[in-house]
Structure 1
Amino acid sequence: MTSTVYKRILLKLSGEALMGEDSYGINRIVIERIVAEIADVNQLGVQIAVVIGGGNIFRGMTSAGDGMDRANADYMGMLATVMNGLALQDAMRRAGLVSRVQSALRIDQVVEPYIRGKAIRYLEEGKVVIFVAGTGNPFFTTDTAAALRGMEMNVDIVLKATKVDGVYTSDPKTDPGAIRYHNLSFDEAISQNLKVMDATALTLCRDQKLPLNVFSIFKAGALKRVVMGNEEGTLVRV
C-alpha cells in the first residue's frame, strides 16, 4: 500500500459539484466520476468523511423560495443535503464502496442520526462516512459543518472540492490575469475576503490549526495527489 501524508480526511463536496453542466439536480456521470476519485483514495487506506452541500437541489426551488423565512429556507437546504447524501451513498454502493450516512437532523427511517463515536468507528473500519443536514441549525453553512465535523473526527485536513483548481486573486473565469495562490494563511484569506470558505469556517479551522486545501474535484487524480502530499490547489494553514 502506498504511503500517504494524510491518514484521515474530511472532504467538503458542494452540491453544485454534482450538477456538472446541468442547471440543477444530480448528473449521474459526474457523481460516478467523483465516487471513482474517492474510491482510489479509499484503496490507499485513507479514512474518508464527507460533508455534502445541497445547492444543486435547492437551486431548483429558488423562485418558490423568494421571500421565505430564512430559518425555513435553511431547513429546506438541509433536507436537500440529505437527498444528495443518499444519492452519493447509492453511487458508492454501485462502485463497491461501503458507506454510512449520518444526519444532524433526525430522520431515522432514512438515515442514521449523527453520533460522533459511531462515526469514528465507521472510519476506523474503512467505511466512508457521509455527513448530511449541515450542523442541524439554520444560519450555519455546510462549510461551517465541514470545519466542525473535521474537528470532531480528528481529521488531518479538510479538503474543499470545487469546480476551480484553487483560490485565485480574482475570478479566473472573468479575469485571464488571475493568479492562483499555492499557499495562504487563514488570516490572509479572512482579511482579503477570498472566496475560500465562509468566515466562521475559516476561523474554526484557524483556531484549531486544522489545515484546508481547496482543489478541483474535476481534475483527474487531484484528490489522490492532495492526499499524497503533492502540490495541488491551494493549501490554507496557520
Structure 2
Amino acid sequence: MTSVKGDFVFGRHAGIDFLKNEDAGKINKIFLQNGVQQDFANQVYGLAKKKHLVVQEAPKNKLDKLVDFGNHQGLVLAISSFEYADLDQSLEKLATKENPFILMLDSIEDPHNLGSILRTCDATGVDLVIIPKRRASGLTSVVAKTSTGAIDHVPVCRVNNLVQTVKQLKKAGYWVFGTAMSGQDYRTWDAKGKSVLVIGNEGKGISPLLLKQMDQTLTIPMIGHVQSLNASVATGVLLYQMLNTTHPLVK
C-alpha cells in the first residue's frame, strides 16, 4: 500500500521507498510497530542508520491514531513538507552581518509552541533557528498554521547534537546565552554582536550538558505564585529584549 496522509507516509512499500529515495531532511521520525517481523525491522533500522534517523517502536494503536486508522502495516514515517536550512551555509551568510542572532531550541516538543516561537522570530528579526533532530517537534503543518506564515521567512536548521553545534558556534565567534532560574536579570542583557539564545524544553529546561556550554544565563523575574512561563511566552520576552538592544529605535 502507498499512502500519504497529512504529515505521515505509511505502509511498508511507501515507507521503504521513501526511506531509500527521499532526502532524509524531510523525515522527522520513524514509527515501527512493536513485534513486526524481524527481517522487516532489520531493514527499517538499517535504512534509518544510514540516514541518521530516529526509530521509535510503538504499539499498533498509536500508529492507528497517527494515520487515522489507515493501513500502515506497521510502519509510519513522520515527514515534513518544509525545507530545512543548512547550518554551514547559514553561518556563512551571517558572517558579515553586524548583529547576527540565532535562536536555539532545546527539545521544544509542542508544535504549537514552535509555531508561536517562529512567529515571534519573524517579528523580531531572528536570523536562524536551530532545533535538534531527536525528541523535538519538527516543521509540520501544525507548526506552519500556528506560525501564520512565519515558517516561510525564518530559516530553521536541524542538527544531530546541540552541544557540538554550540561548540561550532563559539568557534565562529558567537556568545551563547541560556535561560536559568539563577541567571542574570534579562533586562540587563545586551545582545549586540554575535549572539545565540538557548531556550529549554517546556518542562525540563535546558539539558545539563548543554547548560554547561552557556557563556551567561538569563532569568525573567516573576512576582506571582507560578514561577514559570510558557516556553513561547518566555522566548517572546527575551527576543524583544534582544530587539531593544540591537535595534533600539525600531518602529
Question: Higher Cα Rg: structure 1 or 2?
Answer: 2
Task: Answer yes or no: same fold by TM over 0.5.
Answer: no
Q: TM-score, normalised by structure 2?
A: 0.27
Give the number of the structure with larger relative contact order, counting CA–CA contacts within 8 Å between residues 6 or more apart.
1
Q: TM-score, normalised by structure 1?
A: 0.28
